[in-house]
Amino acid sequence: MTPRPVSSVARLVEDNAQDFLRAVEAQLLTLAPQARGHFPTPDDHTHISIAEMLSALLDGTGEEGKVDDKTLEFFKETALDARRFGLTPEILASLGEAVRSELLSLCADLPFENVLFAERAIFATTSASIEAVREADESNIPASFSAEVVEVEKRSRRFTVVRLQAEQELPYLPGQFVAATANFLPNTWRYFCPSIPSNEWGQVEFHIQSDADDITGLLATTRPGDKWELGPGRGDFGQGKINSGNDLLFVAHGTGLAPLRAYMFDLMNQAAPPRLHFFVGADYPGELYELTGMWNFAAASPWLSVVPVSTNDHDEWWVQATEASQPPRGLHLHQTGSMAKIVTQAGAWADREVLIAGPESWARDVRRAMIRRGTPAGQIEVLGF
Protein backbone atom coordinates (compact mmCIF):
# COMPACT_ATOMS: atom_id res chain seq x y z
CA MET A 1 0.00 0.00 0.00
CA THR A 2 1.15 3.53 -0.78
CA PRO A 3 1.60 5.57 2.40
CA ARG A 4 -0.96 8.36 2.68
CA PRO A 5 1.67 11.18 2.87
CA VAL A 6 3.23 10.31 -0.52
CA SER A 7 -0.20 9.74 -2.07
CA SER A 8 -1.13 13.32 -1.23
CA VAL A 9 1.92 14.53 -3.18
CA ALA A 10 0.97 12.33 -6.14
CA ARG A 11 -2.56 13.72 -6.23
CA LEU A 12 -1.24 17.28 -6.14
CA VAL A 13 1.04 16.56 -9.12
CA GLU A 14 -1.83 14.99 -11.07
CA ASP A 15 -4.13 17.94 -10.36
CA ASN A 16 -1.52 20.43 -11.57
CA ALA A 17 0.18 18.35 -14.25
CA GLN A 18 0.46 20.94 -17.06
CA ASP A 19 1.60 23.82 -14.84
CA PHE A 20 4.05 21.54 -13.08
CA LEU A 21 5.50 20.32 -16.36
CA ARG A 22 5.96 23.86 -17.70
CA ALA A 23 7.68 24.91 -14.47
CA VAL A 24 10.03 21.90 -14.57
CA GLU A 25 10.97 22.59 -18.20
CA ALA A 26 11.69 26.26 -17.46
CA GLN A 27 13.80 25.33 -14.44
CA LEU A 28 15.66 22.68 -16.44
CA LEU A 29 16.61 25.19 -19.13
CA THR A 30 17.96 27.48 -16.40
CA LEU A 31 20.05 24.69 -14.88
CA ALA A 32 21.08 23.08 -18.17
CA PRO A 33 20.71 25.39 -21.20
CA GLN A 34 22.15 22.61 -23.39
CA ALA A 35 18.88 20.73 -22.87
CA ARG A 36 17.12 23.11 -25.26
CA GLY A 37 16.22 21.24 -28.43
CA HIS A 38 16.25 17.87 -26.69
CA PHE A 39 12.62 17.83 -25.57
CA PRO A 40 10.16 15.58 -27.38
CA THR A 41 7.75 17.64 -29.45
CA PRO A 42 4.07 17.76 -28.44
CA ASP A 43 3.37 15.46 -31.41
CA ASP A 44 5.71 12.73 -30.15
CA HIS A 45 3.92 9.56 -29.00
CA THR A 46 6.88 7.59 -27.67
CA HIS A 47 7.75 9.34 -24.42
CA ILE A 48 6.18 9.45 -20.98
CA SER A 49 5.69 12.95 -19.63
CA ILE A 50 7.53 14.06 -16.51
CA ALA A 51 4.27 14.58 -14.63
CA GLU A 52 3.03 11.08 -15.52
CA MET A 53 6.32 9.49 -14.47
CA LEU A 54 6.46 11.39 -11.20
CA SER A 55 2.87 10.56 -10.36
CA ALA A 56 3.48 6.87 -11.12
CA LEU A 57 6.64 6.92 -9.01
CA LEU A 58 4.96 8.50 -6.02
CA ASP A 59 1.99 6.14 -6.25
CA GLY A 60 4.40 3.20 -6.23
CA THR A 61 6.72 4.43 -3.50
CA GLY A 62 6.87 2.33 -0.38
CA GLU A 63 7.34 3.20 3.25
CA GLU A 64 9.42 6.32 3.91
CA GLY A 65 10.21 6.86 0.23
CA LYS A 66 11.71 3.44 -0.56
CA VAL A 67 11.52 2.55 -4.27
CA ASP A 68 11.30 -1.13 -5.23
CA ASP A 69 13.63 -2.77 -7.75
CA LYS A 70 10.94 -3.11 -10.43
CA THR A 71 10.26 0.63 -10.38
CA LEU A 72 13.98 1.44 -10.47
CA GLU A 73 14.39 -0.85 -13.49
CA PHE A 74 11.50 0.88 -15.26
CA PHE A 75 13.10 4.30 -14.75
CA LYS A 76 16.49 3.04 -15.96
CA GLU A 77 14.92 1.63 -19.14
CA THR A 78 13.02 4.88 -19.70
CA ALA A 79 16.20 6.92 -19.31
CA LEU A 80 18.08 4.67 -21.72
CA ASP A 81 15.28 5.06 -24.26
CA ALA A 82 15.35 8.86 -23.82
CA ARG A 83 19.00 8.96 -24.94
CA ARG A 84 17.67 9.18 -28.52
CA PHE A 85 16.35 12.67 -27.64
CA GLY A 86 19.86 13.69 -26.59
CA LEU A 87 19.55 12.94 -22.87
CA THR A 88 22.95 12.96 -21.10
CA PRO A 89 23.86 12.24 -17.46
CA GLU A 90 24.33 15.98 -16.94
CA ILE A 91 20.90 16.86 -18.34
CA LEU A 92 19.36 14.04 -16.33
CA ALA A 93 20.95 15.31 -13.11
CA SER A 94 19.61 18.79 -13.82
CA LEU A 95 16.19 17.33 -14.61
CA GLY A 96 16.14 15.55 -11.24
CA GLU A 97 17.03 18.78 -9.49
CA ALA A 98 14.37 20.71 -11.45
CA VAL A 99 11.70 18.16 -10.52
CA ARG A 100 12.75 18.23 -6.86
CA SER A 101 12.82 22.02 -6.75
CA GLU A 102 9.42 22.48 -8.39
CA LEU A 103 7.95 19.74 -6.23
CA LEU A 104 9.01 21.63 -3.11
CA SER A 105 7.32 24.74 -4.49
CA LEU A 106 4.14 22.90 -5.47
CA CYS A 107 3.88 21.12 -2.12
CA ALA A 108 4.76 24.07 0.09
CA ASP A 109 1.54 23.69 2.08
CA LEU A 110 1.94 19.95 2.73
CA PRO A 111 3.58 18.53 5.88
CA PHE A 112 7.37 18.20 5.80
CA GLU A 113 7.50 14.39 5.83
CA ASN A 114 5.14 14.11 2.85
CA VAL A 115 7.62 15.90 0.62
CA LEU A 116 10.69 14.31 2.26
CA PHE A 117 9.58 10.81 1.25
CA ALA A 118 8.87 12.02 -2.30
CA GLU A 119 12.33 13.63 -2.49
CA ARG A 120 13.94 10.34 -1.45
CA ALA A 121 12.12 8.50 -4.22
CA ILE A 122 13.13 11.11 -6.82
CA PHE A 123 16.75 10.94 -5.70
CA ALA A 124 16.79 7.13 -5.91
CA THR A 125 15.33 6.95 -9.40
CA THR A 126 17.41 9.84 -10.71
CA SER A 127 20.62 8.27 -9.41
CA ALA A 128 19.79 4.89 -10.93
CA SER A 129 18.87 6.48 -14.25
CA ILE A 130 22.07 8.58 -14.39
CA GLU A 131 24.17 5.49 -13.74
CA ALA A 132 22.39 3.52 -16.47
CA VAL A 133 22.87 6.30 -19.04
CA ARG A 134 26.52 6.80 -18.04
CA GLU A 135 27.24 3.08 -18.41
CA ALA A 136 25.63 3.03 -21.85
CA ASP A 137 27.65 6.07 -22.94
CA GLU A 138 30.91 4.59 -21.64
CA SER A 139 30.16 1.29 -23.39
CA ASN A 140 29.58 3.17 -26.67
CA ILE A 141 26.06 1.77 -27.00
CA PRO A 142 24.31 3.90 -29.63
CA ALA A 143 21.29 5.87 -28.49
CA SER A 144 19.69 5.29 -31.90
CA PHE A 145 20.62 3.83 -35.25
CA SER A 146 20.72 5.53 -38.64
CA ALA A 147 19.03 3.85 -41.58
CA GLU A 148 18.30 4.86 -45.18
CA VAL A 149 15.03 4.24 -46.97
CA VAL A 150 15.73 1.93 -49.91
CA GLU A 151 12.22 1.01 -51.07
CA VAL A 152 8.67 2.25 -50.56
CA GLU A 153 5.63 0.27 -51.74
CA LYS A 154 2.16 1.77 -51.50
CA ARG A 155 0.05 -1.37 -51.19
CA SER A 156 -3.31 0.43 -50.94
CA ARG A 157 -4.47 3.94 -50.13
CA ARG A 158 -3.94 3.47 -46.38
CA PHE A 159 -1.12 0.90 -46.19
CA THR A 160 2.51 1.39 -47.15
CA VAL A 161 5.51 -0.91 -46.78
CA VAL A 162 8.82 0.86 -46.12
CA ARG A 163 12.17 -0.95 -46.32
CA LEU A 164 15.32 0.52 -44.83
CA GLN A 165 19.00 -0.33 -44.69
CA ALA A 166 21.08 0.40 -41.57
CA GLU A 167 24.85 0.25 -41.33
CA GLN A 168 24.75 -2.52 -38.73
CA GLU A 169 22.51 -5.22 -37.35
CA LEU A 170 19.63 -3.62 -35.47
CA PRO A 171 19.05 -4.62 -31.82
CA TYR A 172 15.49 -5.92 -31.73
CA LEU A 173 13.71 -9.27 -31.45
CA PRO A 174 10.67 -10.50 -33.40
CA GLY A 175 7.51 -9.16 -31.79
CA GLN A 176 9.19 -6.06 -30.39
CA PHE A 177 8.50 -2.46 -31.39
CA VAL A 178 11.06 0.23 -32.16
CA ALA A 179 10.83 4.01 -32.12
CA ALA A 180 11.30 5.56 -35.55
CA THR A 181 11.59 9.07 -36.97
CA ALA A 182 12.72 10.62 -40.23
CA ASN A 183 15.14 13.47 -40.81
CA PHE A 184 12.19 15.74 -41.62
CA LEU A 185 10.57 15.10 -38.18
CA PRO A 186 13.20 15.97 -35.52
CA ASN A 187 12.32 14.78 -32.00
CA THR A 188 8.96 13.42 -33.16
CA TRP A 189 8.87 9.63 -33.10
CA ARG A 190 6.38 6.82 -33.64
CA TYR A 191 6.50 3.17 -32.61
CA PHE A 192 6.45 0.50 -35.32
CA CYS A 193 6.89 -3.27 -35.16
CA PRO A 194 9.44 -4.58 -37.68
CA SER A 195 7.92 -7.18 -39.99
CA ILE A 196 11.13 -9.17 -40.43
CA PRO A 197 13.66 -10.42 -37.84
CA SER A 198 16.84 -8.47 -37.33
CA ASN A 199 19.64 -9.60 -39.62
CA GLU A 200 23.36 -9.06 -40.06
CA TRP A 201 22.82 -6.80 -43.09
CA GLY A 202 20.86 -4.19 -41.13
CA GLN A 203 17.70 -4.61 -43.18
CA VAL A 204 14.34 -3.73 -41.65
CA GLU A 205 10.78 -3.41 -42.95
CA PHE A 206 7.86 -1.46 -41.49
CA HIS A 207 4.15 -1.59 -42.32
CA ILE A 208 2.53 1.83 -41.96
CA GLN A 209 -1.17 2.72 -41.82
CA SER A 210 -1.10 6.29 -43.06
CA ASP A 211 -4.35 7.47 -41.47
CA ALA A 212 -3.33 6.46 -37.92
CA ASP A 213 -2.40 10.12 -37.27
CA ASP A 214 -0.79 13.06 -39.06
CA ILE A 215 2.80 12.19 -38.15
CA THR A 216 2.41 8.55 -39.19
CA GLY A 217 0.89 9.82 -42.42
CA LEU A 218 3.99 11.94 -43.04
CA LEU A 219 6.26 8.95 -42.42
CA ALA A 220 4.25 7.00 -44.99
CA THR A 221 5.22 9.62 -47.61
CA THR A 222 8.93 8.90 -47.17
CA ARG A 223 11.03 8.29 -50.29
CA PRO A 224 14.14 6.26 -51.10
CA GLY A 225 17.19 8.14 -49.88
CA ASP A 226 15.49 9.60 -46.81
CA LYS A 227 17.37 9.14 -43.53
CA TRP A 228 15.60 7.65 -40.51
CA GLU A 229 16.65 7.13 -36.90
CA LEU A 230 15.58 3.95 -35.13
CA GLY A 231 15.60 3.13 -31.43
CA PRO A 232 16.41 -0.29 -29.95
CA GLY A 233 13.73 -2.95 -29.62
CA ARG A 234 11.31 -2.78 -26.70
CA GLY A 235 8.63 -5.08 -25.35
CA ASP A 236 8.35 -8.85 -24.99
CA PHE A 237 5.14 -9.64 -26.87
CA GLY A 238 4.91 -13.31 -27.73
CA GLN A 239 8.36 -14.40 -26.71
CA GLY A 240 7.22 -16.93 -24.13
CA LYS A 241 4.56 -18.37 -26.44
CA ILE A 242 6.93 -18.79 -29.37
CA ASN A 243 9.53 -20.57 -27.26
CA SER A 244 7.01 -22.99 -25.72
CA GLY A 245 7.44 -25.56 -28.51
CA ASN A 246 3.65 -25.85 -28.91
CA ASP A 247 1.68 -25.36 -32.11
CA LEU A 248 0.63 -21.77 -32.78
CA LEU A 249 -2.32 -19.63 -33.83
CA PHE A 250 -1.72 -16.08 -35.07
CA VAL A 251 -4.60 -13.61 -35.53
CA ALA A 252 -3.80 -10.20 -37.06
CA HIS A 253 -5.68 -7.16 -38.30
CA GLY A 254 -4.12 -4.38 -40.37
CA THR A 255 -0.53 -3.60 -39.38
CA GLY A 256 -0.87 -6.06 -36.51
CA LEU A 257 0.42 -8.40 -39.20
CA ALA A 258 3.95 -6.96 -38.87
CA PRO A 259 5.11 -8.44 -35.51
CA LEU A 260 3.47 -11.79 -36.28
CA ARG A 261 5.07 -11.88 -39.73
CA ALA A 262 8.47 -11.34 -38.07
CA TYR A 263 7.79 -14.38 -35.90
CA MET A 264 6.71 -16.35 -38.96
CA PHE A 265 10.03 -15.61 -40.65
CA ASP A 266 11.87 -16.59 -37.49
CA LEU A 267 10.06 -19.94 -37.46
CA MET A 268 11.17 -20.58 -41.02
CA ASN A 269 14.75 -20.79 -39.78
CA GLN A 270 13.91 -23.70 -37.50
CA ALA A 271 14.62 -27.26 -38.62
CA ALA A 272 11.17 -28.45 -37.48
CA PRO A 273 8.82 -25.48 -36.96
CA PRO A 274 5.58 -25.97 -35.01
CA ARG A 275 2.32 -25.90 -36.95
CA LEU A 276 1.11 -22.33 -37.47
CA HIS A 277 -2.42 -21.31 -38.45
CA PHE A 278 -2.39 -17.63 -39.45
CA PHE A 279 -5.59 -15.56 -39.77
CA VAL A 280 -4.76 -12.33 -41.64
CA GLY A 281 -7.45 -9.65 -41.32
CA ALA A 282 -8.38 -6.27 -42.76
CA ASP A 283 -11.41 -4.02 -43.13
CA TYR A 284 -11.59 -4.58 -46.91
CA PRO A 285 -10.25 -7.30 -49.25
CA GLY A 286 -7.99 -4.77 -50.98
CA GLU A 287 -6.37 -3.93 -47.62
CA LEU A 288 -5.00 -7.44 -47.21
CA TYR A 289 -1.83 -5.73 -48.33
CA GLU A 290 0.56 -8.66 -47.80
CA LEU A 291 -1.69 -11.50 -49.01
CA THR A 292 0.27 -12.48 -52.13
CA GLY A 293 3.47 -12.77 -50.14
CA MET A 294 1.75 -14.74 -47.37
CA TRP A 295 0.33 -17.19 -49.91
CA ASN A 296 3.80 -17.72 -51.37
CA PHE A 297 5.27 -18.41 -47.94
CA ALA A 298 2.48 -20.89 -47.15
CA ALA A 299 2.97 -22.69 -50.47
CA ALA A 300 6.61 -23.33 -49.56
CA SER A 301 5.96 -24.19 -45.88
CA PRO A 302 3.82 -27.27 -45.13
CA TRP A 303 3.59 -26.26 -41.46
CA LEU A 304 1.96 -22.89 -42.32
CA SER A 305 -1.71 -22.26 -43.13
CA VAL A 306 -2.95 -18.77 -44.07
CA VAL A 307 -6.59 -17.66 -43.95
CA PRO A 308 -7.43 -14.14 -45.23
CA VAL A 309 -10.40 -12.44 -43.57
CA SER A 310 -12.02 -9.10 -44.37
CA THR A 311 -14.80 -7.41 -42.43
CA ASN A 312 -16.45 -6.29 -45.68
CA ASP A 313 -16.85 -8.35 -48.83
CA HIS A 314 -16.22 -5.54 -51.33
CA ASP A 315 -13.76 -2.66 -51.48
CA GLU A 316 -14.89 0.92 -51.18
CA TRP A 317 -13.83 3.11 -54.11
CA TRP A 318 -11.08 4.73 -52.08
CA VAL A 319 -9.29 1.52 -51.03
CA GLN A 320 -7.10 1.53 -54.15
CA ALA A 321 -6.13 -2.12 -53.97
CA THR A 322 -2.97 -3.39 -55.66
CA GLU A 323 -1.86 -6.84 -56.78
CA ALA A 324 -0.34 -7.41 -53.35
CA SER A 325 -3.83 -8.18 -51.99
CA GLN A 326 -4.72 -10.68 -54.73
CA PRO A 327 -4.57 -14.45 -54.04
CA PRO A 328 -3.22 -16.77 -56.74
CA ARG A 329 -5.73 -17.88 -59.37
CA GLY A 330 -7.91 -20.77 -58.21
CA LEU A 331 -7.63 -20.12 -54.47
CA HIS A 332 -10.91 -19.20 -52.78
CA LEU A 333 -10.21 -19.42 -49.06
CA HIS A 334 -11.03 -15.79 -48.34
CA GLN A 335 -13.67 -15.33 -45.62
CA THR A 336 -15.81 -12.31 -44.84
CA GLY A 337 -17.22 -11.14 -41.52
CA SER A 338 -16.22 -10.82 -37.87
CA MET A 339 -12.75 -12.16 -37.13
CA ALA A 340 -13.89 -13.23 -33.66
CA LYS A 341 -16.70 -15.30 -35.14
CA ILE A 342 -14.61 -16.82 -37.94
CA VAL A 343 -11.75 -17.84 -35.63
CA THR A 344 -14.03 -19.44 -33.04
CA GLN A 345 -16.13 -21.23 -35.67
CA ALA A 346 -12.95 -23.03 -36.67
CA GLY A 347 -12.58 -24.52 -33.17
CA ALA A 348 -11.52 -23.85 -29.61
CA TRP A 349 -7.80 -23.94 -30.44
CA ALA A 350 -7.16 -25.34 -26.97
CA ASP A 351 -3.97 -27.06 -28.19
CA ARG A 352 -2.41 -23.83 -29.50
CA GLU A 353 -0.47 -20.91 -28.13
CA VAL A 354 -2.31 -17.86 -29.44
CA LEU A 355 -0.93 -14.44 -30.43
CA ILE A 356 -3.39 -11.67 -31.38
CA ALA A 357 -2.20 -8.32 -32.78
CA GLY A 358 -4.33 -5.42 -33.98
CA PRO A 359 -6.44 -2.48 -32.84
CA GLU A 360 -7.11 -2.56 -29.10
CA SER A 361 -10.89 -3.04 -29.11
CA TRP A 362 -10.77 -5.54 -31.98
CA ALA A 363 -8.08 -7.59 -30.20
CA ARG A 364 -10.10 -7.64 -26.96
CA ASP A 365 -13.17 -8.85 -28.84
CA VAL A 366 -11.26 -11.73 -30.44
CA ARG A 367 -9.72 -12.72 -27.11
CA ARG A 368 -13.08 -12.70 -25.29
CA ALA A 369 -14.71 -14.77 -28.03
CA MET A 370 -11.93 -17.35 -27.91
CA ILE A 371 -12.12 -17.69 -24.14
CA ARG A 372 -15.90 -18.18 -24.35
CA ARG A 373 -15.32 -20.84 -27.01
CA GLY A 374 -12.95 -22.74 -24.74
CA THR A 375 -9.43 -21.45 -25.41
CA PRO A 376 -7.57 -21.28 -22.06
CA ALA A 377 -6.97 -17.62 -21.22
CA GLY A 378 -3.38 -18.34 -20.24
CA GLN A 379 -2.60 -19.48 -23.78
CA ILE A 380 -3.63 -16.13 -25.31
CA GLU A 381 -1.41 -13.05 -25.56
CA VAL A 382 -2.55 -9.78 -27.08
CA LEU A 383 -0.76 -6.80 -28.61
CA GLY A 384 -3.24 -3.96 -29.00
CA PHE A 385 -2.58 -0.51 -30.43
Q: What is the mean pLDDT of residues 290-300?
A: 92
Go through the domains of the chain in sequence order and give each one's CATH number. 4-138 (1.10.490.10), 145-230 (2.40.30.10), 239-384 (3.40.50.80)
Q: What is the mean pLDDT of residues 113-136?
A: 89
Q: Is 50 exceeded by the pLDDT of residue 3? A: no
Query: Can you give the pLDDT at residue 6?
Result: 67
Parallel, antiparallel, or unpaired: how do β-strands 227-230 and 203-209 relate? unpaired
The pLDDT mean for the chain works out to 91
Angstrom distances, CA of residue 115 to CA of 55, 94, 103, 326: 13, 19, 8, 63
Question: Among the listed ranges 103-112, 171-180, 278-287, which one has the minimum average pLDDT value?
Answer: 103-112
Q: What is the mean pLDDT of residues 237-251?
A: 93
Which of 128, 8, 110, 94 has its CA nearest to residue 58? 8
Task: Cite the DSSP H helix spans in the chain.
Answer: 4-15, 17-31, 50-59, 69-82, 89-106, 112-138, 214-220, 239-242, 257-268, 291-299, 339-345, 360-373
Which of 156, 163, 237, 152 has its CA nearest to residue 196? 163
Among 123-132, 147-156, 332-341, the range of highest mean pLDDT: 147-156
Q: Is 90 exceeded by the pLDDT of residue 223? A: yes
Question: Among the listed ranges 32-41, 128-137, 279-288, which one has the minimum average pLDDT value?
Answer: 32-41
Split at pLDDT 50, 70, 90, the class of 38 is confident
Q: What is the mean pLDDT of residues 360-364?
A: 96
d(CA 312, CA 335): 9
Query: Can you give the pLDDT at residue 331?
Result: 58
R_g of the chain, CA atoms, integer Å: 23
